[in-house]
Structure 1
């Protein structure tokens, strides 16, 4: 009985690419649960959406929409970096992964990571990398990632 419930949950929470209409479904508010995200005007959202969309499969933002509420409850992105290393290989960079606080524990983060990782693999990437807090390390390990080296950052603002 649980398998059918899981199957219906899988169909209820599908991962798809970001749509321009997702701004009105709480996309920006969801990003605020991750980090600082100021208000974004409709025009600015549309401009950035088209800029990212113009990169095609080299920058993908995915979302999960709760069909019952019409709200975006999970998101993440991956962009593909072309390298000279590894025979002019490619690396996927996963960023901005967040699941709404009210939807955690439903395996949505794993679905987002699987979608982004599969996309990077399909683009021919030899690896996919991400930065995360120490508190989230165990989650990413469950998704098949392992800690390697350290992250450094220098903010300009």
Structure 2
């Protein structure tokens, strides 16, 4: 089950994905395909059970006009190697967030948000640094439900 319709991903964007990979909406079964492991390459995810993942997926899917998480899947391994989210706020802006590439897939030109050491690479590609990113992480010994 997909988070949103595949038709919302531009064919032009899909064509830019290298052969052997596909870009698509997050699926309910992506827990088993390593989605959270890939997300863990960006930030501390903490312990999330399959049930918690499914509950959160269903919550997001029920709000399918707000949250759009895409993934890049390695078709050979069946693993999620990249992800990103678009959050559409009901004002005049949206946010692209949580762009991540699994460490095993770095160098395939799939990422945006980066570590400080990668800034020169993105500058070379025409990106400019904007503002400062901040994060708050749920301590690993706490469950997600405790904070929601």
TM-score of the two chains, using structure 1 as the length reference: 0.65
Number of the residue aligned with 2:82: 74
Distance in 1, matches of 2:124 and 2:63, equals: 30
Matching residue within 45, 48, 52 for 1:40: 48
Higher RCO, 1 vs 2 (CA within 8 Å, ≥6 residues apart):
2
**Residues 36-66 of structure 1: per-residue CA shift (max 9 Å, x gap):** 1112111111110011111214211111111
Number of the residue aligned with 1:65: 73
**Residues 136-157 of structure 1: per-residue CA shift (max 9 Å, x gap):** 4445556664334x33647486
**Residues 18-46 of structure 1: per-residue CA shift (max 9 Å, x gap):** 00101001111111111111121111111
Number of the residue aligned with 1:147: 129
SS at match of 2:82: strand
**Residues 75-118 of structure 1: per-residue CA shift (max 9 Å, x gap):** 111101222xxxxx2x1212111111111111222xxx6xxxxx
Quick one: structure 1 residues 21 and 156, their matched pair in 2 at CA, closer, same or farther if it must change by over 3 Å?
closer
Q: Which runs of 5+ in 2 are unaligned?
A: 1-14, 139-148
Q: Which one has a larger percent helix, Structure 1 or Structure 2?
A: 1
Aligned length: 124
Distance in 1, matches of 2:70 and 2:137, equals: 27
- CA RMSD in angstroms comes to 2.8
Q: How does 1:44-55 map to 2 (within 5 A)?
A: 44-55=52-63
Q: Which runs of 5+ in 1 are unaligned?
A: 1-6, 84-88, 114-130
TM-score of the two chains, using structure 2 as the length reference: 0.69
Q: Does 1:16 align with 2:18?
A: no
